[in-house]
Amino acid sequence: MKIVFLDAKSIGDDIDLSGFDQLGEVVKYGFSTPEEAGERTKDADVVIINKVQINEQTIGRADHLKLVCVTATGTNNLDKEYLAERQIEWRNVAGYSTETVAQHTFALLFYLLEKLNYYDQYVKSEKYIGDTIFTHFSNVFHDLNGMTWGIVGLGNIGDAYRGTRHNAGFHFVDEVADKYAARFQTDRKFFGEVAKARIGGAEVILLKPSTLMNLSGKSVAAVSTFHKISPSEILVAHDELDLLPGTVRLKISGGSAGHNGLKSIVSCLGSSDFARLRIGIGHPRDRQLQIPVADYVLSRPPKEDLELISSAIEKALACIDEIVDGDFSRAMSALNEKTDSRK
Contact of 252 with 108, CB cutoff 8 Å: yes
Query: Helix, strand, coil proportions of the chain in percent (round to 5)?
Result: 40, 20, 40
Cα–Cα nearest to 177, from 190, 163, 196: 196
3-class SS at 184? coil
Report the relative pairing of strands 202-209 and 192-199 from DSSP bridges.
antiparallel
Task: Name the helix (H) or strand (E) containing 178.
Answer: helix 168-179
- What's the mean pLDDT when you consider all of the chain? 87
- Inter-residue contact 306 to 264 (CB < 8 Å): no
pLDDT over 90 at 174, yes or no = yes
Average pLDDT over residues 37-51: 96
If we measure between CA atoms, which residue out of 238, 213, 234 comes closest to residue 309? 238
Question: Which of 312, 255, 262 is closest to 282 using CA atoms?
Answer: 312
Give the C-alpha separation, 155 to 214, whole Å: 9
Contact 28, 3 (CB under 8 A): no
CATH number assigned to the domain covering 2-91: 3.40.50.720
pLDDT at 214: 86
Average pLDDT over residues 183-190: 91
Cβ–Cβ under 8 Å, residues 176 and 206 = yes
Q: φ and ψ at 120, to 5 degrees?
A: -65, -45
The yes-or-no verdict on residue 340 having pLDDT over 60 is: no
pLDDT value at residue 53: 96
Indicate whether 42 pLDDT > 60.
yes
pLDDT at 142 over 80: no
Query: Length of the chain, please?
Result: 343
CA distance 136 to 132: 11
Per-residue pLDDT tens digits for 59-116:
999 999 999 999 988 888 999 999 999 999 999 986 677 778 778 888 887 887 788 8
Greater model confidence, 115 or 51: 51
So where are the chain's domains? 2-91, 98-335
Model pLDDT for residues 196-214, shown as the tens digit of each residue:
998 877 889 999 998 888 8
Task: Give, to the nearest 10 degrees, the angle between helix 303-317 and helix 168-179.
Answer: 50
Q: CATH topology of 2-91 equal to that of 98-335?
A: yes
pLDDT for position 165:
87
Q: Could you report how far apart the first and last alpha carbons of the chain are, in Å?
A: 26
Q: How many CB atoms lie within 10 A of CB 309?
A: 25
Region of residue 248 (left: phi > 0; alpha: psi -120 to 50; beta: else):
beta
**Single-letter residue type at 212:** L
**Whether residue 296 has pLDDT greater than 90:** no
Quote the pLDDT of residue 337.
65
Which residue numbers are catalytic? 166
Q: 122-131, 193-202, 301-310: which has the minimum mean pLDDT? A: 122-131
* CB-based contacts of 14, cutoff 8 Å, min separation 6: none
Question: Is 83 within 8 Å of 49 (Cβ atoms)?
Answer: no
Residue type, 190: F
The reply to whether CATH 3.40.30.10 applies to domain 98-335 is no
Q: What is the DSSP letter of 78?
A: B
> What single DSSP character describes residue 336?
S
Is residue 314 within 8 A of residue 178, CB to CB? The reply is no
Is residue 57 pLDDT above 80, yes or no? Answer: yes
The model carries a pTM of 0.57
Q: Say how far apart CA 228 and CA 207 lie, in whole Å.
A: 15
Of 70, 27, 79, nearest to 51 (Cα)? Answer: 70
